[in-house]
Amino acid sequence: MQNDELLDTIRTFAAYLTSKGRKQSTIKRYMYDIEDFIHWLEKKEKASSNNIWASLCTKDYENYFFELKTIRHYSEKTIHRVFIVLNRLYQFFQLSNPGMKNPLKEMEMVIQPDRALRTSDFITEQEEHRLKKILSSLEHLSEKQLPARSLLIDRNISIITLLLDYGLSLQELISLNMHHVHFETNTLSIPPVSGIARTITLSIQDKKQLYKYYKIIPEPVRPKYHSDDPLFVAFDFNRNTYRWVYENDAPKALTEIAVQKMIRQEVARAGLRKGISGQHFRNTFILRLIEQEVSEQEIIKRVGFKTKLSLKRYYDYAKKNPLTE
């Protein structure tokens, strides 16, 4: 670590934690997590500027946590721990610089495993109605966004539908390839990337919506049916077409970060509260199954949970917040 600013950060933050009576083992763990993030910054060549901490944005942290989750395969508990450490680092900066922005506050990722669920972890029927309405409208689009909208409406509707009405996780969604798609039987095979493999049956309308998105992709860059090509393809806004990776001779897969950004933009267009994410949609799907008195085993099967323990938080919430007659 060559950067003096980064070295100074570690020293002063460690001294601050010591003054607050933190155990040396705790401080050592904090420093390990911060140093790991700094090494990541250096690898990404983001550690050479002055005032490094103030120059970082939310997307930098989204990219870092995305790597922890998908490449290093850190557990949710570990990711949550790292998030807390980096968030407290910014709180420390703000003691001497109250105007300094904390980019972690705008994180779209859900990094709070196993805590009790709150009403804000779900979306209401009114929010759902407004969001689905805005997806197919041209409201609040910029002149740059308008030309591409006809190519994206069906994709975006299908994504939100799979998250909210079928309970897919973001990881499952972006892992879908054309081998998993069975238009002839109205089904999708969900790969076991974050849970148990399962098959879901789409309604005729939702299958038609997904097929409409598939067919609107220009044929030269369209994913090949029954292939390893991704189902959801990234979009090039500069050229107004779906993207192709020539090195792989295949369409470019839509990333989890890109889906999060799309959700964030559509939520903003709909005028809904900030922070609504794919996890909110999955949470809502699970809660609605409980409210419909679907059996525990059936919910586990539909959602792809590995054990019924994953459902405990949802049942606890449902008991404390019963539906009013």
Q: What is the pLDDT of residues 56-104, one digit of tens each?
A: 988 889 889 888 888 888 877 788 889 999 999 999 999 988 889 898 8
Rounded to the nearest 5 percent, the helix, strand and coil shares of the chain are: 60, 5, 35
SS3 203: coil
* pLDDT of 1: 46
* Whole-number Cα distances in Å, 182 to 186, 187, 226, 246: 6, 5, 8, 26
CB 166 within 8 A of CB 200: yes
Strands 198-201 and 235-236: unpaired
* pLDDT of 2: 56
Cα 303 to Cα 315: distance, rounded to the nearest angstrom: 14
Structure tokens at 192: 């076991």
Say whether 119-316 and 4-106 share the same fold.
Answer: no
Label residues 61-96 b or e (16+ Cβ within 10 Å = b). bbebbeebbeeeebeeeebbbbbebbbbbbebbeee
* pLDDT of 141: 75
Question: Domain 119-316: which topology?
Answer: hpI Integrase; Chain A (1.10.443)
* pLDDT of 239: 84
* pLDDT of 47: 66
Cα 162 to Cα 175: distance, rounded to the nearest angstrom: 13
Strands 181-182 and 187-190: antiparallel
Residue 62 has phi, psi (to 5 degrees) of -60, -40
pLDDT along the chain (325 residues), means of 10: 74 92 87 92 76 86 87 81 92 90 73 73 95 87 76 93 95 94 96 88 97 94 94 88 89 89 91 91 96 94 87 92 69
Decide yes or no: CATH 1.10.150 for domain 4-106.
yes
Whether the model pTM is above 0.75: no
Cα 106 to Cα 252: distance, rounded to the nearest angstrom: 27
Cα 246 to Cα 68: distance, rounded to the nearest angstrom: 27
Q: Which residue do the tokens 């390893």 mark?
A: 228
- Could you tell me the residue ranges of all domains in the chain? 4-106, 119-316
Distant-in-sequence, close-in-space partners of 296: CB < 8 Å, separation ≥ 6: 308, 311
